[in-house]
Chain A
Amino acid sequence: MTTTQLPHSIRSGKPSTAERNAVKRASLRVIIIVLLLIYAVVSVFPFFIMLGGALKTNQQVLTNPFPFSSPPTIQTLIDTFEALNVPLLLFNSAVIAVGSCLVILIVFPLAGYAFALLQFPLKRTLFAILVGALFVPGVTVLLPLVILDQELGLNGTPLAVIFPVACGAGPIAIVLMRSYYASVPYEVHEAAVLDGCSEIGIFWRVYFPLSRAALVTITILNFVAAWNEYVLPTLTNDDPTKFPLPVGLQSLLSSNVVQWNQVMAAALIIVIPITVLFIGLQRFFINGLQGSVKG
């Protein structure tokens, strides 16, 4: 109640309709905020659990599941770094994630641009095939992929994961880039053509920089998918020095007694980089995702 006027109820002794509405609106406001806060807690609770678990000894983590309820220790983080060779795992994960992002950013914006603005033979057929692949479940092609990686001699290298992951990101990336480039006013293209710019020049100097939001969106979506990829690196690689983080984390669970505090510390190490990346780029990311739905 922010009104500075004398309340009607004091003057007449009865609450007015306007006042009752104001009370109703204020209490509705409180309910909305409480509900929003509850879901905010639900959203981040597992991350508190990771952080809380990573700051506990194994004894504390077994007897008290709630985060931040024991005096914090950094011994668990130290132990986890020793048990897992974290820098190497981080490096291997980064190679896979950055590598697949590079392939995606080179290959699919070009294709999206062609599907949006150029005319060429078999255009509709190629588009249907590339995007239709979205509906082939990953598990359906998993076994042939592993066999193919083996035949191409890629097993044991990051490429065995990078190419399939990039290919899997293709349908969504092409649709996103195509709808983004189609939403750019066509006069932009006209003007560039009149200026004598070649098609590749128009793409590289005008459209590619314009599509920053869409590029960020596909980068984040794919970076996270590649960073979290567990199955393909497990199946194409048996050299522990080439493992990415998710596969390395698995070794913590193979012992008889699971050290949950160390598992949570490792989970935290996996989650922090992608959370930082998302929060840093989230303005572009959310705009890019929303733009693709509107377009």
Chain B
Amino acid sequence: MFAPYRRWAAPRHLRRGQWVGLLFVAPAVILFAVFGVYVVVYGFLLSFARWNGFSPDWTWVGVENYIALLGGNPAVSPKVAQATVNTLVGMLVLPIVVLVLGLALALLVNSVRRLRGLIRTVYFIPFVTTGIAVYYAWRFMYQPDGAVNAVLRALGLHSLAPVDGFLGNTTTALAAVIAVQVWSNVPIAMLLFLTGLQTIPDGVIEAARVDGASTVRTIWTIIVPLLNPVTALVVVIMLREALQNYQLYLLMTNGGPVNASNTLGLQSYSFAFGSITDLGFSSALGWLLAAVAIILAIVNLRVLRSRQ
């Protein structure tokens, strides 16, 4: 009767109104042309110039900003190097911890029937509310006499409770901020895994159980491989989060103490709005970040496609 619906081709009779489609996307295109394309072009051009934000003219310097950031300028490259290391730590730790916790919680939630909805709602609250208010609650909890230290001391773990608070010293600041990031991102991974679990037919798991496979084995050899597409999606989202979320770092530590929790995104922000500004550096660093994000996205899409 009807031709099978394909993703991009609409049936022939629809072509009557080719311009209708353009009218429908026009508002989005206009919004993007002004607040998307314009700022992208502006920022890209600025990355090849030096500008302090006040003088009327830019000084064109070619790729000098990029070279300076990648090691050519002793005044900025050590800072950038430290921020790179911190960002890489986040890009490694965040996806792994969020994957493990998200999958474990999804399996646990999936195994109970009563109260499942309530548990799912409670677990999801950190993701929905994440932002300045939650960050400040964590800052308060991380204070030298805050709740986290108090819990550790109550458990007898005095040596693990830093005297100057988790955000106040260089050894724990980065880990403490990443922990908050994990806390606020585990819910979305859990929800995606729950969705994935619901698409696995009961028969598959039942068959494994009949064959005498243990729970652990069933999870590891049957459920985890079937969830591969979800895993890949979670990894993309978490890499993007680790690379791009600078507001968390800005509001929790502002990169301190002494750059211990500085990241590339925050460094780009500081070049533009911090105490010593160089807007060209800010733009160039932003575009290096964008390049990494785009490369990661392409690699991940390739991996996803090759698996299907």
Chain A residues within CB distance 8 Å of chain B: 32-33, 35-36, 39-40, 42-47, 49-50, 53, 62-63, 65-67, 103, 106-108, 110-111, 113-115, 117-124, 126, 129-130, 132-145, 147-148, 163-164, 166-167, 170, 174, 182, 186-187, 190, 193, 199-200, 203, 220, 224-225, 227-228, 230-231, 235, 246, 249, 253, 260, 263-264, 266-268, 270-271, 274-275, 278-279, 282, 286, 289-290, 293-294
Contact = CB atoms under 8 A, between A and B. Distances in A.
Contact of A230 (B5, B120, B132): B132
Contact of A140 (B11, B123, B266, B268): B268
Nearest to B147: A65
Interface in B25-40: 25, 27-29, 31-32, 34-40
Given A33-B112, A286-B191, A106 B27 contact: yes
B288 to A, nearest CB: 9
Contacts of A166: 31, 35
Given A62-B145, A144-B46, A274 B129 contact: yes
B269 to A, nearest CB: 5
A137 B128 contact: no
Contacts of B55: none
Contacts of A174: 28
Interface residue tally of chain B, by bracket?
35 or more
A262 B154 CA distance: 26
A236 to B, nearest CB: 12
Given A264-B137, A267-B136, A119 B286 contact: no
Contacts of B244: 137-139
Nearest to B3: A186
Contacts of B251: 230
Given A119-B15, A139-B269, A142-B269, A228 B133 contact: yes
A47 B137 contact: yes
B137 A143 contact: no
Interface string B119-151: 111111110111111101110110101110110
B105 interface: yes
Given A107-B28, A129-B32, A137-B289, A230 B140 contact: no
A36 B279 CA distance: 48
B123 to A, nearest CB: 5
18 contacts: A43-B125, A46-B138, A66-B150, A67-B147, A110-B27, A110-B28, A111-B24, A111-B27, A113-B24, A139-B289, A143-B273, A144-B38, A144-B42, A203-B24, A220-B128, A228-B133, A278-B129, A293-B233
A163 B19 contact: no
Contacts of A121: 18, 22
B131 A120 contact: no
A135 B20 contact: no
A279 B19 CA distance: 41
B238 to A, nearest CB: 14
Contacts of A45: 141, 147
B64 to A, nearest CB: 18
A200 B22 CA distance: 12
Contact of A107 (B27, B42, B130, B191): B27
B143 A260 contact: yes
Contact of A267 (B32, B133, B286): B133
A167 B31 contact: yes
B283 interface: yes
Name the 10 nearest CB pairs between A and B, nearest first. Answer: A228-B131, A120-B21, A140-B286, A118-B21, A114-B24, A267-B133, A144-B39, A111-B28, A270-B133, A167-B35
